[in-house]
Structure 1
């Protein structure tokens, strides 16, 4: 990014203006494209299948997930995602949505860890029950302001760990999450990069995940978004539903407090 900025400064004024106009135009067109598809977001199909899976009796115990507690009480989903990650007394730790969902699939339905985490991310010809469930669960918080707490000591600890991970540089390119997401106005090609340290940017970014990715034809969860970020940084592959992912999710979610949840949304 630094090299790109240096080259831009060296360009004639007319070229700089043309580049800025082109970027602005592309951003506007992408926004229009999203708006056109918003009323028919394919994520609704994932939400519908997720609701069926939520109510379906499954696993060795032949029970549904309707007694899963995401912090509002067993089976209470309205507004639950807007307060996650959070501390759960029954496990003595902070969990994000997907970590908690895996826990419920194991404790309620009797699945093993391997079974509960099988196919976390869908691909061509391979559906992910987890992505469908997450789409449904998060949709139940649509319109609810984010209100993630750090009142419990372990919530504070998770937030601080997430903050450190956000700024930690490493990998083959010596990148950090902050390399792309701590400065306003940065982009990769036509993709705008939200500044997570800016309140409005953090709210706009976090409250629209999970999202249906047009380029991938799948609903992608926050776990997948972070997994892909680490991949692009050339970091080791993070374990699915790990405490490290929960920590950085806590950092992102807390920074988005006050923003109205609007997912599952639509992305390029």
Structure 2
């Protein structure tokens, strides 16, 4: 090898090593940033609001949500989040946490579902549903996901969610799998977890609801999926649509064994 060739090879190795160190440093810096913010996570305020809303008598029927059945019996909240979405016999549907809360708000309190589904993010009853979801989800913090697949509709929704996850379209021909279908992908300084399997505790499906620092809002999984579709240049999905619930089933089943970390904090 000539002196020039050796110098070029050494320079290439140096640059590659420097790039690897920079990438590692960026990832570590983001994690440190999140850890610092976690001590004063504004999600705590939404969690407190959700608990108040759960106990407060509201709506035309002047009732609380304390008899809401989220899958483990009326009023039980601990452990329900890590088993949702699931099939509910009273609605004949597979529902996630938010769609089930809307059902309870309607059946127990007499609140029109449209007051939630047609509201803007962070406004009115949609904001109340977000706070309720944050509080309920927080009651399962540290528990492992174990979504049921015993009912035929649960298995069907898993398959539908899988197809939607890999469906390409929009102006950029993207799919959910374009960002979350394999290991080692990043957007800017953000690591993108692979969601076709268990990505780990508090990652992916196990990390939402979360407070988004960049927008100053509390985001649920429904909101996260809505924004993913926006970034793919797809039409905005309806709130608590069957499509978004099916995607939740797919990711939730794949996350089996991962421990919930919600409510978390995001950039």
Question: TM-score, normalised to structure 2's length?
Answer: 0.91
Farther-moved stretch of structure 1 (227-236 vs 32-41) = 32-41
Q: How far 1:127 moved relative to its partner?
A: 8.3
**Corresponding residue for 1:236?**
235
**Corresponding residue for 1:251?**
250
Structure 1's consecutive aligned runs of 4 or more residues displaced over 6 angstroms after TM superposition are none
**Corresponding residue for 1:3?**
none
- Alpha-carbon distance in structure 1 between the residues aligned to 2:259 and 2:206: 7
Question: Which SS does the other structure have where 1:180 is aligned?
Answer: helix
Equivalent residues in 2 for 1:123-134, closer than 5 Å: 128-134=127-133
Which runs of no fewer than 5 residues in structure 1 stay unpaired?
Answer: 1-10
1:121-170 superposed Cα distances (whole Å, 9 cap, x missing partner): 227x9981121111111011112111101111000000000000000001
Q: How far 1:37 moved relative to its partner?
A: 2.2
Asked whether 1:194 is paired with 2:193, we answer: yes
Tell me how large the CA RMSD over aligned residues is.
Answer: 1.9
Q: How far 1:203 moved relative to its partner?
A: 6.2
Q: How far 1:201 moved relative to its partner?
A: 4.5
- Alpha-carbon distance in structure 2 between the residues aligned to 1:175 and 1:267: 23
Asked whether 1:158 is paired with 2:160, we answer: no
Q: How far 1:13 moved relative to its partner?
A: 4.1
**Corresponding residue for 2:28?**
28
**Corresponding residue for 2:3?**
none
Farther-moved stretch of structure 1 (143-152 vs 225-234) = 143-152
1:230-262 superposed Cα distances (whole Å, 9 cap, x missing partner): 000011110001011000000010111111111
Sort the Cα spacing of 1:130 and 1:112 in 2 relative to 1 into closer, same or farther, 3 A. same
- Alpha-carbon distance in structure 2 between the residues aligned to 1:130 and 1:15: 50
Question: Which SS does the other structure have where 2:25 is aligned?
Answer: helix
**Corresponding residue for 2:135?**
136
**Paired positions, count:** 257
Equivalent residues in 2 for 1:1-268, closer than 5 Å: 12-117=12-117, 119=119, 121-122=121-122, 128-201=127-200, 204-268=203-267
Q: Which has the larger radius of gyration?
A: 2
Sort the Cα spacing of 1:107 and 1:234 in 2 relative to 1 into closer, same or farther, 3 A. same
Question: Which SS does the other structure have where 1:63 is aligned?
Answer: coil
Which runs of no fewer than 5 residues in structure 2 stay unpaired?
Answer: 1-10
Question: Which SS does the other structure have where 1:225 is aligned?
Answer: helix
